[in-house]
Structure formats: C-alpha cells, structure tokens
C-alpha cells in the first residue's frame, strides 16, 4: 500500500540541519505515526512521503518555506525586563506569550539591564531540514481517526 491522503503512516526519522547536526530523531523511541494529507506534518515532509511504501528508506530535503517558514524579523522585539517580574531570565529560555496572533512560544535571545529581547520565530524557522526516513507501516485511516484528525491506538493519540 502506498502513502496517500488519509493513510496512517508510521515512520522512523532523523532530522539534521544543513551542517549535519542532529536536531531530532525517533530512533530508540516509538516511531512517529501521523495521517497523511491533513496537515499533521510540515508540507515538505508530506510531499516527500507521498506515494512511498512500507520498507522504503529515503532522504527528504525540506526548504524553510515548506518547513517552519522563513525568519520574520518583525517577530523579534524588546520587552521591559519588569514584564518578567522577579523571574530569572536567561538567553535560550522559552515562554508562552500572548500576541496579536494569539498565544505563541517566544525564545529569549538577549538579556540587558532594562530590556529583554524575545524572538517569536519557530526555532527552526529559516533552517533547511534534512530528514532520513524509513517507512515502517502504511494503513488506511479509520473513520474515527479521520473525524478526530489524528491516529488512535498504540503510538497514536489517547483520549483521557
């Protein structure tokens, strides 16, 4: 069976940046399960996996446009240090911030005496992504899974 819209796909993957550094991997953990064609994964991954079958190993290069987007400098802003109260703030720390676009994760990039610089870009925005993927399993999604928009059962989403 080939990967197509509304199939449940199980993959093992390793993600590297363009310098070869490993950013994320499922090796040694459960494989990633997702439903193809409904936006569970970044567009470049879905495109690269379309039409593949169980047992295939492939490398997928994803441009920032089809990954986590290009960096947007308008998402970088200075906020008064007092906005964090007595909390200790250090570069690299992440916070959820309320913005005009709703809640989003921001990363502190710089801490000054009076101001803290925060970056609302996704940490992988502007980064070329290189996935090594092995397709473990492909099956049709159930009506339930399609209605909920995610995989059920082992390795999938569990309702509590």
In this prediction, residue 152 carries a pLDDT of: 85
Strands of 76-80's sheet in order across:
76-80, 115-119, 102-111, 94-99
* Cβ–Cβ under 8 Å, residues 115 and 1: no
Residue 88 in 3-state DSSP?
Answer: coil
Domains defined for the chain, CATH in brackets:
7-68+125-148 (3.10.50.40), 73-119 (2.40.10.330)
Rounded Cα gap, residues 5 and 74, in angstroms: 35
The pLDDT mean for the chain works out to: 92
Q: Of 153 and 59, which is predicted with more confidence?
A: 59
Q: Is the pLDDT of residue 61 over 90?
A: yes
pTM assigned to the model: 0.80
In this prediction, residue 155 carries a pLDDT of: 57
Q: Is the pLDDT of residue 100 over 90?
A: no
CA proximity to 22, closest of 135, 109, 129: 129
């Amino acid at each position: 069976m080939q990967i197509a819209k509304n199939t449940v796909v199980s993959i093992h993957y390793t993600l590297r940046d363009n310098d070869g550094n490993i950013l994320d991997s499922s090796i040694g953990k459960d494989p990633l399960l997702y439903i193809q064609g409904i936006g569970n994964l970044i567009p470049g991954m879905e495109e690269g996996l379309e039409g593949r079958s169980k047992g295939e190993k492939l490398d997928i290069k994803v441009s920032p446009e089809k990954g986590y987007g290009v960096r947007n400098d308008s998402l970088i802003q200075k906020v008064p240090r007092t906005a964090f109260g007595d909390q200790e703030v250090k570069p690299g720390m992440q916070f959820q911030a309320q913005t005009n676009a709703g809640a989003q994760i921001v990363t502190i990039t710089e801490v000054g005496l009076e101001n803290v610089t925060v970056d609302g870009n996704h940490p992988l925005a502007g980064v070329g992504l290189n996935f090594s993927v092995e397709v473990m399993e492909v099956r049709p999604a159930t009506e339930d899974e399609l209605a909920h928009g995610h995989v059920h059962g082992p390795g999938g989403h569990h309702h509590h």
